[in-house]
A and B are shown apart, each in its own frame.
Chain A
Amino acid sequence: MLSDSQIEAQQELFSKNPIDGQVLKILVEAALTWLRTNQELVNSLNVFPVPDGDTGTNMVLTMQAAYDEISNSPEQNFGIMAHGVANGALMGARGNSGVILSQLWRGIARAVDEDKYLDASSLARALAYGRDTAYKGVVRPVEGTILTVAKDSAAAAEEALGETDNVVEMLARIVVAADESVQRTPDLLPVLKDAGVVDSGGMGLFYIFDGMLRHINGLPLDTSLATVQPLAVMSLDNAMEAIEPGQDFEVVVDFRPDNSLDLNNFYGKLEDIGTSIQVGEGDGFYRMHIHVPTEKLYDPIEYTRTLGVVTKVAIENLIAQMEDAGEDGSDAELPLVPVEAGQIAVVTVAPGNGIARVFASLGVAAIVSGGQTMNPSTQEIIQSFENLPTNQVIILPNNKNIYMAAKSAAELTVKQVAVIPSRTVPQGLSAMLRMVPDGDFDNIVEEMNEALDDVETGEITYATRDVEIDGVECNEGQYIALSNGKLVLSASTLEEACQGLLENVSADEYELITLFSGSDVSGQDVIRITDSIRAAYPEQEIEVQEGGQPHYHFIIAIE
């Protein structure tokens, strides 16, 4: 903790000195740090009690990409630096909230153009531009979301402009307005009220503003005020760095030294324990990163405990991670159909290996892994098709939370890209069936859009907390069934959930029921449930595929 005089000094620093590119860098880092500290809290604000696209994670990854873009930049010009932030945010944008956040930054960057410094009037203008750009980026803006919080923040800035020309003062008002706006979101969006939560994206935006202000005010950014969370997601890139033989674990320790730290001594001691040592200095705390062999797993923690208070510890098994990555990222093994110049290529997002295989067999040119819990970034989507030898690309996001990232990807490339708004895997497959590589691009896009309605989607998952939505009551841990994204029932057994769903959509009026089994379901359960469905629907064809998707026991296509 800083002393009062230190805090004053810091506030003074930000109030009196012009806010240039380097100050922006510090503020972005502060925003990122504070958002990350509260990431789990933001994640927990899910309307649906399902393991949904994690807003907090998506926003952190977006901010991380924004910060990475500028972290080494010596740029002094505020405007140019803001453009760097916007660019990084855009490329790293994940999930809808991430994309909207990136649009906010884009608007801000445009507003300040190449302004050398940020002042109160340019801050107000920047937020107004940011708000406008964010609203424009959404086809049907919904109030009670991050958009509303952006709007209210911009309004607060404009209002403050008549009364102060102090940027810090204005930021303080923005933070208050954002907080109040977040609290109001349930009044604007009934689903939030029903679920008893505030909007997660709006909350994330609040933490971004608040993180900047806290830093200026010398408040700590590493301890969430709400709950103590496990250390934020480690950047996978860091974890994936070359692993020395024998260095099986990555250990990251955050600690607050009792006395000032003798860095040389500290490094020397760490070198005896492991390799890949990195030490980052924060606000009166340090973050230490090290790779260690299994038998020394706890040594770094024991050692740092002798120096002060350990606030957070994260341990990752590097070998296991490498193996996982090898399994997941193995698109190369899938029999992807080569695309020729002039043909149409389809890129799809697949939440499981089995689903990826089915898409591959239908002739997709590239697969981006991702789904409910891990939304791929705009950049990942772009990378998937950038090197394809054709200019005509169709993207199937297969998830409402990935749609916007796919849209951004479409805007950020010189290629002709269409995004089909497929919200579920069955919809994506239905659209994919209409693909004709040599067909007319516009016709195929139209056909694919039409095909979305050819199939009903059922999803069986479990409730992550007690909730009542759309008149359906469910308790944490219960199975729940979603029909075309809408919660329709809860059940205590998997079989009940499946049968209830099929009854709900009147499956007896359809021809074909295709079940994609998730990674959490045993082969025996799949057989048992398939048999029971066959018995209940003798007139329908039943097809079973191993989907391999996490969290969702079954994804069901009814057509």
Chain B
Amino acid sequence: MNIALVTDSTADLPPEVVERYRIQVVPNIIIIDGKSFEEGPGITRREFYKRMPTFQTYPTTSTASVGTYQNIYEGLLQQGAEQVLSIHVSGRLSGIFNAASTAAEAFGERVKVVDSGQITLGMGFQVLSAAEAIARGADLETALKIIDGVQRRVLVIAMLDTLEYVALSGRVSWARARIGNLLRIKPFIKVKDGDVMRWGDVRTRRKGIERLKEMVRDLGDLERFAVLHSNAKTDAQRILQELDIKIPTTPLVVNVTTVIGLHVSPNGLGFAAVTI
């Protein structure tokens, strides 16, 4: 069975994984001062964070169109795929799932669109698990079961440097209410079942890093793990080193993609973990 895998750029999969499993990654679009850029090919993370202070207006994001998804599905099917499995960022956070689902309607059973209920590696690990299974010869039904299993065991938690950006993103209702907060805080967020929730706050980065590490340790044995950061590589690497995680797969350190970085602010730190 030849199954093609599609996801979008918020999956934050490392390029070598994308290449090895021939995963089609649909870039999201970021609009900076009136100009549109495709994530990745159009503007690198490094360039984005470097230019961030000079942005005149708060950048906005956009998804690939229904037409783009339709073209991609059609191309993959024409190139010999019998089925397409398209896994996307939580429908509660983005319109990508809707766009992809609408595009898929024209292909009936041949294209299956999945709401990962997650973002960044929380979704990426689902895609990766499916890719590995398909490479071993799994059929669509099995791949879907695997995705479902990972989805239930995956967790994304992050400490943001400030609440401001999440509030501006308009994607999280509580953030706006909390911006009137009088104390300087570093909010924690947790992504689970498609939603971004508050997960308590800390007041200093040092305490926040300790708390992140403690949370990881509390999870027990892990199947997959990634330290996430928004342009804070040094801290992220140190966290991974200090955690000294023993897992069957290689732990990752991932600078989250720009559309997420934009919504969580630079200097964010977090992790994505799949428990056993």
User: Which positions in A face B, CB cutoff 8 Å?
Assistant: 335, 337, 357-358, 361-363, 429-430, 433-439, 444, 447, 454-455, 510-512, 514, 541, 543, 545, 557, 559
**B173 contacts partner chain A, Cβ-Cβ < 8 Å:** no
Closest 4 CB pairs of A and B: A434-B200, A433-B201, A511-B204, A361-B182
Tell me the smallest distance from the CB of B219 to a CB of chain A, in Å: 13
Q: Is the CB of B202 within 8 A of A454?
A: yes
A543 surroundings in chain B (CB, below 8 A): 183-184
Contact of B180 among A361, A439, A559 (CB under 8 A): A361
- Closest partner residue, chain A, to B210 (CB atom): A454
- Closest partner residue, chain B, to A363 (CB atom): B178
Q: Is the CB of A337 within 8 A of B177?
A: yes
Q: Is the CB of B183 within 8 A of A358?
A: yes
B185 surroundings in chain A (CB, below 8 A): 433
- What 0/1 readout, one digit per residue, does chain B (164-202) give for beta carbons within 8 Å of chain A? 000000000000011011111100000000000111111
The B interface, classified by DSSP as helix, strand, loop or mixed, is: mixed
Tell me the smallest distance from the CB of A431 to a CB of chain B, in Å: 10
Tell me the smallest distance from the CB of A450 to a CB of chain B, in Å: 9
Tell me the smallest distance from the CB of B205 to a CB of chain A, in Å: 7
Q: Is the CB of A429 within 8 A of B183?
A: yes
Per the bound structure, the CA–CA distance linking A514 and B203 in Å amounts to 10
Contacts A454-B207, A559-B207 given; indicate if A435 touches B200 (C-beta within 8 A). Answer: yes
Q: Is the CB of B197 within 8 A of A436?
A: yes
Per the bound structure, the CA–CA distance linking A454 and B185 in Å amounts to 14
19 A–B pairs (Cβ distance < 8 Å), ordered by A: A357-B182, A358-B182, A358-B183, A361-B182, A362-B182, A362-B183, A429-B183, A434-B201, A436-B198, A455-B203, A511-B204, A512-B184, A514-B183, A514-B203, A541-B184, A543-B183, A543-B184, A545-B183, A559-B204
B206 surroundings in chain A (CB, below 8 A): 511
A545 surroundings in chain B (CB, below 8 A): 182-183
Per the bound structure, the CA–CA distance linking A320 and B199 in Å amounts to 44
- Assuming A358-B183, A514-B183, A559-B204, what are 9 further A-B pairs, CB within 8 angstroms? A335-B180, A362-B181, A434-B200, A454-B203, A511-B205, A512-B184, A541-B184, A543-B184, A559-B207
- Closest partner residue, chain B, to A437 (CB atom): B198
Per the bound structure, the CA–CA distance linking A444 and B204 in Å amounts to 19
B201 surroundings in chain A (CB, below 8 A): 433-434
Q: Is the CB of A559 within 8 A of B200?
A: no
- Closest partner residue, chain A, to B186 (CB atom): A433
Q: Max chain A CB contacts within 10 Å: which of B180, B201, B203? A: B203
Per the bound structure, the CA–CA distance linking A106 and B200 in Å amounts to 39
B200 surroundings in chain A (CB, below 8 A): 433-436, 439, 444, 447
Q: Is the CB of B180 within 8 A of A438?
A: no
B199 surroundings in chain A (CB, below 8 A): 436, 439
A557 surroundings in chain B (CB, below 8 A): 203
Per the bound structure, the CA–CA distance linking A557 and B185 in Å amounts to 13
Contact of B204 among A357, A429, A512 (CB under 8 A): A512
Q: Is the CB of A430 within 8 A of B181?
A: no
Q: Max chain A CB contacts within 10 Å: which of B178, B182, B185, B205? A: B182
Tell me the smallest distance from the CB of B37 to a CB of chain A, in Å: 34
B198 surroundings in chain A (CB, below 8 A): 436-437
A559 surroundings in chain B (CB, below 8 A): 203-204, 207
Q: Is the CB of B203 within 8 A of A433?
A: yes
Tell me the smallest distance from the CB of B178 to a CB of chain A, in Å: 7
Contacts A337-B177, A436-B198 given; indicate if A430 touches B182 (C-beta within 8 A). Answer: no
Per the bound structure, the CA–CA distance linking A325 and B180 in Å amounts to 26
Per the bound structure, the CA–CA distance linking A439 and B174 in Å amounts to 14
A436 surroundings in chain B (CB, below 8 A): 197-200
- Closest partner residue, chain A, to B200 (CB atom): A434
Per the bound structure, the CA–CA distance linking A335 and B181 in Å amounts to 10
Per the bound structure, the CA–CA distance linking A247 and B159 in Å amounts to 58
A361 surroundings in chain B (CB, below 8 A): 180-183
Per the bound structure, the CA–CA distance linking A445 and B199 in Å amounts to 13
Per the bound structure, the CA–CA distance linking A153 and B178 in Å amounts to 54
A434 surroundings in chain B (CB, below 8 A): 200-201
Tell me the smallest distance from the CB of A311 to a CB of chain B, in Å: 49
Q: Is the CB of B181 within 8 A of A438?
A: no
Contact of A438 among B178, B182, B183, B197 (CB under 8 A): B197
Per the bound structure, the CA–CA distance linking A436 and B203 in Å amounts to 16
Tell me the smallest distance from the CB of B155 to a CB of chain A, in Å: 14
A511 surroundings in chain B (CB, below 8 A): 204-206
Q: Max chain B CB contacts within 10 Å: which of A358, A361, A455, A557? A: A361
- Closest partner residue, chain A, to B181 (CB atom): A361
